[in-house]
Amino acid sequence: MLTERLSTDMSQSVKKITGLVAATFTPLSEDGEINLSVIAPYIDYLVDKQGVKCVFVNGTTGEGCSLTVDERKQLAAAWCHHGKGKLEQVIVHVGCLSLKDSQELAHHAASIGANGISVISPSYFKPMNADALRLFIKEVSASAPGLPMYYYHLPGLTGVTLEAADVLDGIEKVIPSFQGVKYSGMDLRDLGQCVSYSQPRNWSVLYGVDEQLLAALVLGVDGAVGSTYNYLGRMVKQIISAFDNGNHSQARTLQFKFMEIITFARSLGFDVSVNKQVMSEVSGLPLGPPRLPLLPCLVSKAQAIAQKIRDFSQGH
């Protein structure tokens, strides 16, 4: 009874996340240390140049699982500190292989004024079923009970093939702070089931496969979290506006162009390393190399993709 009341209370008071959320890159210096001095200009770039005011920190794009707990804390704190008065939402990804590390990060996120936390499934020892994963998320949430929790579904990288809709089923009964899902899978049926379950609960469903966002908008997602919104935010906002205004033909045209960029990038081996270098090329921010096991990418590759993006932005 108390659980139900708390759940309803948080769902009513937490603002849904809508629009675009940039999954941030982690700036590293040439010698591989985190470079916090880039965070403040990074925020200005997102807000002023891309019109993006929500961030997802220490996720896949941010190489969160390659960072130490202490580095993750420092990054989260810097994003919250410099984002004050500029960013609307700082969601901190706290997923780790160790429950204890995730709990420590969740507790820390609450202490620095983050707006929410998100957790991916552990992927070495994988949860055997949805109950096990819900229990893991519950134990993490318990370390930050006042913060909205979003389940991060990314089967392509975790290898955890549980359907997200199964994970969501009844989760509010065990996690009062549960507020939605960041869905980075390709299965539109499962995504639709998540939207259908989340809508009456006022939860947020955020899509994470940027190149097929339009399909997810049709299914009713509230917003999107992605790497490319760091440098293509303005353009993708046009897709969302066209869709919201019922101009489906324009939305499709723009989404197709966006797909063309990603197809080109993929032909050059698009991964987090290349993506990071593309962001450096487009934004001018010194994001540095990725951390091993990712290998630095050839600058010429990133420059070719950045040129394609510029051509696109200029309407070629």
Residue 194 contacts ligand SI3 per CB under 6 A: no
Residue 210 contacts ligand SI3 per CB under 6 A: yes
- In the complex with ligand SI3, which residue's Cβ is closer, 186 or 218? 186
Residue 59 contacts ligand SI3 per CB under 6 A: yes
- Span 34-53, contacts to ligand SI3 by CB under 6 A: none
Neighbours of 20 (CB within 10 A): 28
The answer to whether 76 touches 108, Cβ cutoff 8 Å, is yes
Residue 225 contacts ligand SI3 per CB under 6 A: yes
Nearest to 120 by CA among 55, 209, 60: 60
Neighbours of 48 (CB within 10 A): 10
Neighbours of 160 (CB within 10 A): 16
**Residue carrying the six token digits 């620095």:** 112
Is 24 annotated among the ligand-binding residues? no
Dist. CA 299–CA 273, nearest whole Å: 11
What does the DSSP 8-state code read for residue 72?
A: H
Residue 11 contacts ligand SI3 per CB under 6 A: no
Q: Which of 60, 102, 141, 158 binds ligand SI3 (CB under 6 A)?
A: 60
Residue 187 contacts ligand SI3 per CB under 6 A: no
User: Catalytic pick from 152, 183, 207, 231?
Assistant: 152
Active site residue 152: yes
| Range in contact with ligand SI3 (rule: CB under 6 A) among 31-39, 94-102, 208-216, 292-300 | 208-216
Helix, strand or coil for residue 22? strand
Q: Which of 42, 45, 56, 150 binds ligand SI3 (CB under 6 A)?
A: 56
Is 61 annotated among the ligand-binding residues? yes
Nearest to 146 by CA among 116, 124, 171: 116
Residue 208 contacts ligand SI3 per CB under 6 A: yes
| Range in contact with ligand SI3 (rule: CB under 6 A) among 195-203, 219-227, 245-253, 287-295 | 219-227
Residue 61 contacts ligand SI3 per CB under 6 A: yes
Neighbours of 219 (CB within 10 A): 17
Residue 102 contacts ligand SI3 per CB under 6 A: no
**Residue carrying the six token digits 């913060």:** 147
Pairing label, strands 204-207, 54-57: unpaired
Question: By CB under 6 A, how many residues form the interface with ligand SI3?
Answer: 17
DSSP class per residue in 156-219: HHH-----HHHHHTTHHHH-TTEEEEEE--S-HHHHHHHHHHHGGGT-EEEE--GGGHHHHHHT
Nearest to 25 by CA among 78, 68, 63: 63
- In the complex with ligand SI3, which residue's Cβ is closer, 179 or 184? 184
- Span 244-263, contacts to ligand SI3 by CB under 6 A: 262
**Residue carrying the six token digits 């403040």:** 40
Q: State the nearest-atom distance from the C-beta of 273 to ligand SI3, in Å.
A: 11
- In the complex with ligand SI3, which residue's Cβ is closer, 60 or 177? 60
User: Catalytic pick from 53, 73, 182, 276?
Assistant: 182
Q: Which of 88, 139, 166, 211 binds ligand SI3 (CB under 6 A)?
A: 211
Burial bucket for residue 61 (CB in 10 Å: 0-12, 13-18, 19+): buried
Residue 139 contacts ligand SI3 per CB under 6 A: no
Dist. CA 302–CA 43, nearest whole Å: 22
- In the complex with ligand SI3, which residue's Cβ is closer, 60 or 121? 60
By CB under 6 A, name the binding residues for ligand SI3: 23, 56, 59-62, 157, 184, 208-211, 225-228, 262
Active site residues: 152, 182
Annotated binding site for pyruvate: 61, 225
